[in-house]
C-alpha cells in the first residue's frame, strides 16, 4: 500500500510539472532523456581521462565527435587552440551560445568512492566537475537542434568547447578571436553543491611569472662569488606577505614557487614563481598588480640579481545579468528539486564525514534568486571575459554534497557516479528550457541585452593577454 501511495504521489508530481511545461520544453526534456545514457557515458569517459589545461585532446575529440554525430557543424582548433572547437546548427537570429568546459585539475585523482582513494596516484582529477560541464551543455545544444529540425524554433545554436579554464583561461583568446561576435545571449553553468540561477559575480584576476637570474657558486667554499636567485625569491615572497596586511579585504594574492634551486651546496642562479592577484573589481585589482610587480624589482636589487616578469593572462569579474537569471529561475522552479536515493544520500553523508563536514546529505532544494551582488564568490572564471562581450546567463547545479571542499578529491568522487550524473542531466534540461524561452520570445532577448548594455556602461573591454595561447607551457 505504501508503494502504491508513493507511486501515485510521484505520478501526480510529474503530471503537474508536465501541465506547466509548454510543448517545446517538454520536447527538450524528452530529447535529453533520450540521450541521457550516452551523455553519462561521455561524462564518465572525460572523468576517467582527466586531461589538464590545453592537454584535453581526447576529451575534446569525444565531445566534438558526438556533436557531429548529432548533426552539428564542428570547427576544430579555433582561436589557434587545438582543443577548442565550435559546434553550430541553424541559421539567422537569435544566435544563442552555450559554453562547455572539460579540463581537469592536477594531483587529485580519485575513484568514485566516498573515501580518499586515488584512481591513479599523482594523476589529475575533475575536482571542479568539468567532465559534466561540457557534456551537459552539449546535450542542451543537441536538444535545441532537434527542436529546430521539427520546425518549432528558428535561429542558431552555438556550442563552444572551451579548454583550459583551470589554468591559462582559454576563453580570453577565444573572445579575441571573435567567437562571440555574432552571439545575442550566452548560456553557462557550473557544477555546485546547490541549485540556483547564479546572479553573483566572481573575482577578476591576473597571472604572471617572476624569474630571477643570478650567479652560481659553491655554497660553502666561495658563497661570496655567488648571487642567489633564491634569495631574491624569498625576499620577494616576504614582501608580498607583508603587503597582504595593506590590501583591501576583498583582494587576494597567491604564489606558487616553481623553482627555488636544485641542490643545497650550490648558490642557485635561477628561481621562478607563479603569482596571482585577485579582486572583485578589475579596476582595483590592477593597481595591486602593479605594486606587486614593483616588489620584484626591489627584491632583485637587494639580492643583486636580474629579474623578468612575464604576463600569463588575466580575466574579468563576471558581469551579472539579473534579467537572464530570472528566466533561468522560472525554469528551475518548473523542473523542481533533484531527488536522491537512500544510497546517494548515504554516499553524500560519507563524503561529508570524510572531509570533516556536518553529515546532512545532499542539498536538493532550489534557492531563490539572490537579491544583491555584494558577495561575490571566492572563485574566478574566464566566463567573466565572455560576459563583458555578450550577455551571459549562469546556472549552478548540485553535483556534490553541501559544504564539500571544491577542487578536491571529494568532488571528483561524486562526478564519477550517479550524484554527478543527476546534476549534469538536470543542468542540461534547465539550460535547454531557458534557450527555448530566448528562441521563442524576442522581447526576453532584448531585455537581457539592454541590462547588459546598462551594466557594462562605457567601459571598454581589454583582454589581459600578451601573445598567443601558451600551448605546451607548464
Q: List the CATH number of the domain containing 224.
A: 3.30.70.360
In a domain, 83, yes or no: yes
Question: pTM of the full predicted structure?
Answer: 0.92
Question: Quick one: cell of 331?
Answer: 525554469
Together in a domain, 166 and 236: no
Together in a domain, 117 and 167: yes
Confidence of residue 374 (pLDDT cuts 50, 70, 90): low
Together in a domain, 221 and 267: yes
The string of pLDDT tens digits covering residues 231-273 is 999 999 999 999 999 999 999 999 999 999 999 999 999 999 9
Give the β-pairing of 204-213 and 270-279: antiparallel
Together in a domain, 188 and 219: no
Question: Quick one: cell of 239?
Answer: 614582501
Q: What is the DSSP string of 398-439?
A: E-S-TTPPSSSHHHHHHHTSHHHHHHHHHHHHHHHHHHHHHH
Residues, the chain, total? 474
Together in a domain, 269 and 358: no
Q: Which of 252, 280, 315 is the last residue of a domain?
A: 315
In a domain, 468, yes or no: no
In a domain, 470, yes or no: no
Mean pLDDT value of segment 121-138 = 98
Q: Kindly list the distances between the CA atom of residue 290 and the CA atoms of 285, 297, 305, 450, in Å, as whole numbers in the listed order.
A: 9, 11, 20, 34
Confidence of residue 373 (pLDDT cuts 50, 70, 90): low
The predicted pLDDT at position 474 comes to 72
Together in a domain, 174 and 272: no
CATH number of the domain enclosing 164:
3.40.630.10
Counted domains in the chain: 2
Together in a domain, 295 and 344: no
Return the number of other C-beta atoms located less than 10 Å from residue 250's C-beta: 13
The string of pLDDT tens digits covering residues 411-427 is 999 999 999 999 999 99
Together in a domain, 181 and 305: no
Together in a domain, 7 and 132: yes
The predicted pLDDT at position 370 comes to 86
Per residue, the 3-state secondary structure of 202-259, as one string, reads: CCEEEEEEEEEECECCECCCCHHHCECHHHHHHHHHHHHHHHHHHCCCCCEEEEEEEE
In a domain, 278, yes or no: yes
The predicted pLDDT at position 19 comes to 52
Start-to-end Cα distance in the chain: 62
Range of the domain at 52: 2-201+317-456
Q: Which of 248, 283, 315 is the last residue of a domain?
A: 315
The predicted pLDDT at position 367 comes to 94
In a domain, 107, yes or no: yes
The string of pLDDT tens digits covering residues 213-225 is 999 999 999 999 9
Together in a domain, 367 and 285: no
In a domain, 71, yes or no: yes
Together in a domain, 373 and 324: yes
In a domain, 298, yes or no: yes
The predicted pLDDT at position 10 comes to 39
Amino acid at each position: 500500500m505504501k508503494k502504491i501511495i508513493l507511486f501515485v504521489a510521484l505520478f501526480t508530481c510529474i503530471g503537474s510539472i508536465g501541465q506547466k511545461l509548454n510543448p517545446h520544453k517538454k520536447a527538450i526534456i524528452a530529447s535529453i532523456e533520450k540521450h541521457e545514457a550516452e551523455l553519462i557515458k561521455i561524462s564518465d569517459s572525460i572523468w576517467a581521462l582527466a586531461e589538464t589545461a590545453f592537454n584535453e585532446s581526447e576529451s575534446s575529440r569525444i565531445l566534438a565527435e558526438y556533436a557531429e554525430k548529432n548533426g552539428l557543424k564542428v570547427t576544430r582548433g579555433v582561436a589557434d587552440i587545438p582543443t577548442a572547437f565550435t559546434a553550430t546548427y541553424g541559421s539567422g537570429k537569435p544566435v544563442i551560445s552555450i559554453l562547455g568546459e572539460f579540463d581537469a585539475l592536477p594531483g587529485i585523482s580519485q575513484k568514485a568512492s566516498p573515501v580518499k582513494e586515488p584512481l591513479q596516484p599523482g594523476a589529475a582529477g575533475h575536482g571542479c566537475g568539468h567532465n559534466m560541464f561540457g557534456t551537459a551543455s552539449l546535450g542542451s545544444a543537441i536538444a535545441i537542434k532537434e527542436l529546430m529540425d521539427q520546425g518549432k524554433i528558428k535561429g542558431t545554436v552555438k556550442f563552444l568547447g572551451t579548454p583550459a579554464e583551470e589554468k591559462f583561461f582559454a576563453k580570453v583568446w577565444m573572445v579575441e578571436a571573435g567567437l562571440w561576435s555574432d552571439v545575442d545571449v550566452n548560456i553557462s553553468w557550473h557544477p555546485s553543491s546547490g541549485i540556483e540561477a547564479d546572479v553573483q559575480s566572481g573575482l577578476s584576476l591576473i597571472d604572471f611569472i617572476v624569474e630571477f637570474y643570478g650567479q652560481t657558486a659553491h655554497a660553502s667554499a666561495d658563497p661570496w662569488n655567488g648571487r642567489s636567485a633564491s634569495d631574491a625569491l624569498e625576499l620577494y615572497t616576504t614582501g608580498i606577505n607583508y603587503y597582504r596586511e595593506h590590501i583591501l579585504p576583498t583582494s587576494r594574492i597567491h604564489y606558487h614557487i616553481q623553482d627555488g634551486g636544485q641542490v643545497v651546496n650550490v648558490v642557485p642562479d635561477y628561481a621562478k614563481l607563479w603569482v596571482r592577484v585577485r579582486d572583485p573589481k578589475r579596476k582595483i585589482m590592477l593597481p595591486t598588480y602593479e605594486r606587486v610587480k614593483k616588489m620584484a624589482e626591489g627584491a632583485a636589487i637587494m639580492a643583486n640579481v636580474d629579474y623578468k616578469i612575464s604576463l600569463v593572462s588575466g580575466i574579468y569579474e563576471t558581469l551579472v545579468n539579473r534579467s537572464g537569471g530570472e528566466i533561468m529561475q522560472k525554469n528551475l522552479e518548473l523542473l523542481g528539486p533533484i531527488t536522491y536515493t537512500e544510497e546517494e544520500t548515504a554516499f553524500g553523508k560519507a563524503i561529508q564525514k570524510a572531509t570533516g563536514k556536518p553529515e546532512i546529505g545532499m542539498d536538493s532544494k532550489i534557492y531563490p534568486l539572490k537579491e544583491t551582488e555584494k558577495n561575490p564568490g571566492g572563485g574566478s572564471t574566464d566566463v567573466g571575459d565572455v560576459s563583458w562581450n555578450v550577455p551571459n546567463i549562469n546556472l549552478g547545479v548540485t553535483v556534490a554534497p553541501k559544504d564539500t571542499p571544491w577542487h578536491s578529491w571529494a568532488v571528483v568522487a561524486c562526478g564519477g557516479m550517479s550524484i554527478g550524473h543527476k546534476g549534469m542531466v538536470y543542468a542540461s534540461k534547465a539550460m535547454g528550457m531557458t534557450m527555448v524561452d530566448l528562441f521563442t520570445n524576442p522581447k526576453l532577448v532584448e531585455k537581457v541585452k539592454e541590462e547588459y548594455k546598462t551594466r557594462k556602461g562605457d567601459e571598454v573591454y581589454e583582454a589581459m593577454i600578451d601573445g598567443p595561447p601558451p600551448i605546451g607551457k607548464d
